[in-house]
Amino acid sequence: MVDFLDAFPLRIGFLVRLGYWLELRYAPWSYDATYRLWYRLPFFVQPLGALINLLTRRKMLRWVRETDADVVVSTYPMASLVLGAARQKGRLPIPVATFITDFAVHPLWTHPGVDLHMCVHPQSAEAAAARSGRAATAPGPMVPDRFHAELPDRSVARKELGFDDDERLVLVVAGAWGIGDITTTFDTLIADGRYTPLAVCGNNEQLHKKLQTRGAGHVLGWTDEMPTLMAASDVLVQNAGGLTCMEAFAAGLPVVSFEPIAGHGKDNAEQMANAGVAAYAADADELFPVLDRATSLAGRSMTANGRAMFASDPADEVLDLAAAHAPEVVPERAARRVSLRRVTAGVAAIAATYAAFTAGVGTAAAHGIGIAHPKKAGSVYLAVRLSEDEVKSATLPDVLRQANGTAIVCGRLVADAPDDVRRLQAAGVPLANGGWGHRDAVQWGRARSDLMRSLKAIHTVTGERPREFVPQRKIDGFDLASARLVHERVVMPSVVLTEERSVPKLRAGQVVVLDGRGESIDELLHNLYNVQQSLTANGLAAAPLSQL
């Protein structure tokens, strides 16, 4: 990881950063004018790129050589211009990807020499593809796990931070620099009295001291506790549409744009509102009706749209790009004269490794090696593999929730019945990845198309990433490796029950899966009832797979 501004000679990079800060703080009209200029006169991008390229190209290419990189990823528009030009002119032999962190795709963000533009939303990807004429995808934002999987409960977060349960907390943010008219936002919220502002001022100590004089609301300076603050808050009010918004989308916190900063702040606010992932209050009169909608049931669709942005891991696309452009290794003549013994030994080693990675790992997994193990004493881990007809049942969600069961859903079911799967989620039923069911002759391809494709489908529909993978088939090392890549645990059933098989005596620590495929909903519910009776008779309790 390198800072592109360090590629400038002398102290030009420092002056670029300082100039940007001064513009945003003291002359936002100037920044807005230059930001809009590239939209209206896009042909000016080329001379600007030529100047930046002249100043930074040599050091950029040296960085690439010194690191022996296989691919270069840019998260900064000016760096993308230089890398795209170098790639286009043949000076850079390895592929270049740009990760566009803004929702709005400014002309400086794209370049026809860049191999892949990755965006946070399909709407952004469409704009990037149109501007660059090159491939653009929408894997979604990159946000640390602590903003979704490790997020604390609301009541726990409030207790930890010392906030009252009945406060209607509005988290007000302005980035690391504390830029924008945060004072107006803070005072407007205090004057109304229905919402309590919780302002994070970043490094702006002057703003921090100024807001503290109000004697109302909550005011913080720089903090590393944003996940806890988001868990404790009811809504986020922001002014730039930057990374904090992406973190809020992951946390399921409604986002409202108000008093956006010039340039990209206004652009992002409009684009996010158009995509339905955030609301935009144009003035103080609109702010409170918008806050009321965002914090009511109507705001749930907005937060669901935000979570659905996290379609896949952008890192996977970078790795795929590098692999697709990997140079072919052409052996020299001397290498062709290797002895038959070495060739035979190599083939044997490959065959042995492959066998160990497939049949060997499958056998080890059958004995509990490399898979999830029970942690809760006195419990049986209960899950139900559902068919499309069963997932449509109106009674099933409540029955599964009361039974402490996990719903195992396959990717095809999620794609065919998304509303029914969301109904299970809304009822509080934990979901597990049941795989796609795709058969591929090559194990690695099978693992990717089965496990990963299904995970992506579930995440797109529900906004959640299941942590458990319950395959419908024997597994091998490729499955375990794929599961590890996407942070899923492989769960192998101890007992699989169908209507034809009677319920055996159950023991603590077993993973019991009721396979409802091929059964009617009545048969499945009857089987579930028999399992519950067996558990009660043996003094056991059911637990979802997430407690493994």
> Which residue reads 């013994």 in tokens?
341
The encoded tokens of residue 329 equal: 């290794």
Which tens digits make up the pLDDT trace of 209-237?
A: 999 999 999 999 999 999 999 999 999 99
> What pLDDT is attached to residue 477?
60
Which tens digits make up the pLDDT trace of 417-467?
A: 889 999 999 999 999 988 886 444 444 445 556 777 888 888 888 888 888
| Dihedral of the alpha carbons of 330, 334, 339, 345, in degrees to the nearest 10 | -40
> What pLDDT is attached to residue 6?
94
Q: Where is pLDDT greater, at 365 or 392? A: 392
* pLDDT band, very low/low/confident/very high, at 69 (cuts 50, 70, 90): very high
| Nearest-angstrom CA–CA distance, 48 and 78 | 9
| Nearest-angstrom CA–CA distance, 3 and 15 | 14
Which tens digits make up the pLDDT trace of 113-158?
A: 999 999 999 999 999 999 999 889 999 999 988 898 778 889 999 9
Q: Are 466 and 488 in contact (CB under 8 A)?
A: yes
Q: Are 487 and 494 in contact (CB under 8 A)?
A: no
> Which residue reads 């198309």 in tokens?
449
322 CB-near residues (< 8 Å, 6+ apart): 70, 71, 94, 95
| Nearest-angstrom CA–CA distance, 262 and 36 | 10
CA-wise closest residue to 247 among 382, 322, 150: 150
| Nearest-angstrom CA–CA distance, 42 and 361 | 56
Q: Are 396 and 420 in contact (CB under 8 A)?
A: no
| Nearest-angstrom CA–CA distance, 214 and 453 | 52
| Nearest-angstrom CA–CA distance, 489 and 469 | 6
| Nearest-angstrom CA–CA distance, 280 and 312 | 27
| Nearest-angstrom CA–CA distance, 171 and 156 | 17
Share above pLDDT 90 across residues of the chain, in percent, rounded to a whole number: 47
> What pLDDT is attached to residue 347?
46
> What pLDDT is attached to residue 343?
46
Sign of the CA dihedral 517, 521, 526, 528? positive
Instruction: Tell me the chain's radius of gyration from C-alpha atoms.
Output: 27
pTM here is 0.60
Rounded to an integer, the average pLDDT of 346-353 is 43
Task: Give the helix/strand (H/E) hosting 275.
Answer: helix 264-275
> What pLDDT is attached to residue 330?
45
Q: Are 104 and 124 in contact (CB under 8 A)?
A: yes
374 CB-near residues (< 8 Å, 6+ apart): 381, 508, 509, 510, 511, 548
> What pLDDT is attached to residue 368?
42
Question: In sequence order, what DSSP letters do the residues of 204-217 get, joined into one string?
Answer: -HHHHHHHHTT-SS
| Nearest-angstrom CA–CA distance, 455 and 376 | 26
Q: Where is pLDDT greater, at 472 or 371? A: 472
CA-wise closest residue to 414 among 548, 308, 303, 488: 308
**3-class SS string, 41-65:** CHHHHHHHHHHHHHHHHHHHHHHHH
> What pLDDT is attached to residue 478?
62
CA distances from 285 to 193, 281, 302 (A): 15, 8, 21
| Dihedral of the alpha carbons of 325, 105, 273, 275, in degrees to the nearest 10 | -30
* pLDDT band, very low/low/confident/very high, at 479 (cuts 50, 70, 90): low
Mean pLDDT for the chain overall: 84
C-alpha 507: how far from chain center: 37
Beta bridge partners of 135: 116
> What pLDDT is attached to residue 437?
61
| Other CB atoms within 10 Å distance of the CB of residue 329 | 6
> What pLDDT is attached to residue 485?
65
* pLDDT band, very low/low/confident/very high, at 522 (cuts 50, 70, 90): confident
Beta bridge partners of 379: 541
pLDDT at 364 over 70: no
> Which residue reads 């409540």 in tokens?
398
Angle of the 243-251 helix axis to the 299-308 helix axis, nearest 10: 110
> What pLDDT is attached to residue 232?
95
CA-wise closest residue to 125 among 254, 317, 322: 317
> Which residue reads 């709407």 in tokens?
123
Lowest pLDDT segment from 360-369, 420-429, 432-441, 520-529: 360-369
Q: Are 349 and 521 in contact (CB under 8 A)?
A: no
pLDDT at 342 over 80: no
Which tens digits make up the pLDDT trace of 85-116?
A: 999 999 999 999 999 999 999 999 999 999 99
Which tens digits make up the pLDDT trace of 289-332?
A: 999 999 998 889 999 999 999 988 899 999 999 988 876 554 55
> What pLDDT is attached to residue 365?
44
| Nearest-angstrom CA–CA distance, 402 and 256 | 36
End-to-end CA distance of the chain: give it in Å, rounded: 37
Q: Where is pLDDT greater, at 504 or 373? A: 504
Which tens digits make up the pLDDT trace of 37-68?
A: 878 887 778 888 899 999 999 999 999 999 99
Lowest pLDDT segment from 172-181, 423-432, 482-491: 482-491
Go through the domains of the chain in sequence order and give each one's CATH number.
4-137 (no CATH), 146-308 (3.40.50.2000), 366-547 (3.20.20.370)
pLDDT at 495 over 60: yes
* pLDDT band, very low/low/confident/very high, at 77 (cuts 50, 70, 90): very high
Question: In sequence order, what DSSP letters do the residues of 461-485 get, joined into one string?
Answer: HHS---SEE--SS---HHHHHHHHH
Rounded to an integer, the average pLDDT of 261-290 is 93
